[in-house]
Structure 1
Amino acid sequence: MKKTTIVIGQTAPITEELVKKYGFIITPFVIDWPEMDSLEGNNIFEKMRDAEKKGIKTVPKTSQPSIGICKKIFDDALKESESVVCIAISSQLSGAYNSAVQAKKMLNESDQSKVFVLDTFSTDVSESLIALKAGELAEEGVSGEEIFKEITEMSPNVHLFGILESPKWLEANGRLNHTLSVILSQMQKIGMRPILSVKDGLVKAANLKMQAKNTAQALFKHTEEVIKKPLEEGKICRVAISHADALEEAEKLKKMFEEKYPQVEVSFIALTGIVVGCHVGPGTLLISCSIEK
């Protein structure tokens, strides 16, 4: 029997290769967008661009997995492993964490003691980096309880930063008022690039980069400010990148790290998670960095 199974949400972008390597189980979210099947595109972001071209005003909405789905995932995982570690998007951004906690409470007392649910207080590639660490520990045969303790300590040292191509999608989803959306659009036109982050589980403005040539350069400079001192102190830094149909910018960002900081592992590049992606829209670039001792 397997020692520990790692459960992640569809909010956490990751490559198929890593999913297979570590046996991650992915909890699906519900997407509500009646027009989606009629739109052209190979992913949600291409479909969002097509919807814009066609003048479709609706936008995709997402909802968290049900308690029942979470419970079934836990039940199935416990048939094949001694324990389960579930890594969830920030409880401030989604009800997914609560669904997982409630599902755990529905298990019998013995099984409850084998399930550990982590509120990452973050999202997207930050969830993925935490999951990657958990997967590595599970592969080493570490118990679920010990994995949970380690990633709980790790979580505050995992940072997420992002730049939007356009704030209009956040406005369309009701996450940004029109006035602020216009201001952000004007700032971008004159070379000012607002950088967003997740702090205390909520999306907030982190910085403002002036005269950055592109989103990749702006994110590189900001992330560099975070990792430079830890690297000088001999700490280990790892990054992961996600993009909302902006692969070229993601590749540029990866290359910048490889050239200037070869000691920093760029774990992967993946398409932005669908839950975050539906809100931030096409063209968004996100990076997460973890700092370990």
Structure 2
Amino acid sequence: MSYKIIGDSCTDLTEEMRKDGHFHIVPLTLQVGEDSIVDDRTFNQARFLKLVSESPVAPKSSCPSPDAYMELFKGEEDIYVITLSSNLSGSFNSAEVAKKLYLEENPHKNIEVINSCSASVGQTLIALKIQEFAGMGLGFKEITERVRKFRESLSTKFVLENLDTLRKSGRLTGLKAIISSVLNIKPVMYGTPEGTINKLDQARGIQKALGIMVDSVEKDVKNPEERIFAIAHCNNAERAKFVREEILKRVSFKDCIIVDTAGVSTMYAGDGGIIISY
């Protein structure tokens, strides 16, 4: 059967995936003050980061409409949709509405909406896993069952260079932000199985924080020889390469990919942020 993998624009694709006709992206819209930015191929990361740094308010995002999803449901028989964690965005609910409406008129289609319970490269790895299973010739039902099990085994972590977005959004008090900035404290965060964000640890200096993150991967990863280690960076390719080198010294992953963050992931990670999933 023909298939299509649709991700919302928090799914950070590799260049190879962008060229592969099986992968499609539905954009979210980002809002920074009075400026509205569509998170598609026109997204300009440098301009967005400048707008965020100059704005007194935190950037926001709005999810795609059901119509935007339904437009991409046309064509292939098997449709897989991967969304940002439903605890972080309404994208999943929008895709579910689109599925219900579309199947009323096209009951022959197979459509599965997957709440990634993650973001960025966590979504990327789910998309790659669907492609892998489809390439094995598995049927729609078996692919969806296997992918859900794979999602439950995923880990996503990140290190932030800058706490301004958290401060502006009210998730960090001004005093804590000032103290963290003065002391050069960098938080190490992780995604929970439910798709929320918690703090794993913190360190003084970005290199120490990245080291803590790498240590945590080495401690908790299972069957790395069967897994891809994915890194997304926001405007800092050298930092991403450093993380790759450090982790591959210690853990033998099947493969490692590095991507630059698109709009939504840029908003979450901030300038210099690093997101990993495995």
Report the TM-score when normalising by structure 1.
0.82
Deviation at 1:48, TM superposition (A): 4.5
- Does the 8 Å CA contact 2:228/2:257 hold for their aligned counterparts? no
Matched letter for residue 246 of structure 1: N
Task: Pick one of 87, 92, 96 that aligns with 1:92.
Answer: 87
CA distance, structure 2, for counterparts of residue 178 and residue 17 of structure 1: 42
Q: Which residue of 2 aligns with 1:246?
A: 236
Q: Which residue of 1 aligns with 2:9?
A: 10
Q: Which residue of 1 aligns with 2:50?
A: 50
Q: Which residue of 1 aligns with 2:97?
A: 102
Q: Does 1:279 align with 2:272?
A: no
Matched letter for residue 67 of structure 1: P
CA RMSD of aligned residues (A): 2.6
CA-to-aligned-CA distance 1:165-216 (integer Å, 9 cap, x gap): 01112222344332443344355x2xx5421111121111123357873444
User: What SS does structure 2 have at the residue aligned with 1:213?
Assistant: helix
CA-to-aligned-CA distance 1:11-54 (integer Å, 9 cap, x gap): 011112123236201111112344579xxxx965422453477x
Equivalent residue runs for 1:1-293 within 5 Å: 2-21=1-20, 23-33=22-32, 34-35=34-35, 44-51=44-51, 55-74=54-73, 76=74, 79=75, 81-109=76-104, 110-111=106-107, 114-186=110-182, 189=184, 193-199=186-192, 200-209=194-203, 213-227=207-221, 230-231=222-223, 236-261=226-251, 263-289=252-278
Gaps of 5+ in 2: none
Change (3 A) 1:150 1:21: same
Deviation at 1:88, TM superposition (A): 1.2
User: What SS does structure 1 have at the residue aligned with 2:271?
Assistant: coil
Matched letter for residue 47 of structure 1: R
Deviation at 1:282, TM superposition (A): 0.7
**Greater mean deviation of Cα atoms: 176-185 or 17-26:** 176-185
Change (3 A) 1:35 1:254: same
CA distance, structure 2, for counterparts of residue 271 and residue 122 of structure 1: 17
CA distance, structure 1, for counterparts of residue 176 and residue 107 of structure 2: 48
- Does the 8 Å CA contact 1:88/1:127 hold for their aligned counterparts? yes
Identity over aligned pairs, percent: 24
Change (3 A) 1:186 1:44: farther
- Does the 8 Å CA contact 1:193/1:218 hold for their aligned counterparts? no
- Does the 8 Å CA contact 1:83/1:115 hold for their aligned counterparts? yes
Deviation at 1:276, TM superposition (A): 3.1
Change (3 A) 1:85 1:50: closer
CA distance, structure 2, for counterparts of residue 265 and residue 114 of structure 1: 31
Report the TM-score when normalising by structure 2.
0.86
Gaps of 5+ in 1: none
CA distance, structure 2, for counterparts of residue 147 and residue 67 of structure 1: 24
Change (3 A) 1:134 1:183: farther
User: What SS does structure 2 have at the residue aligned with 1:47?
Assistant: helix
- Does the 8 Å CA contact 1:10/1:275 hold for their aligned counterparts? yes
Deviation at 1:163, TM superposition (A): 0.7
Matched letter for residue 217 of structure 1: G
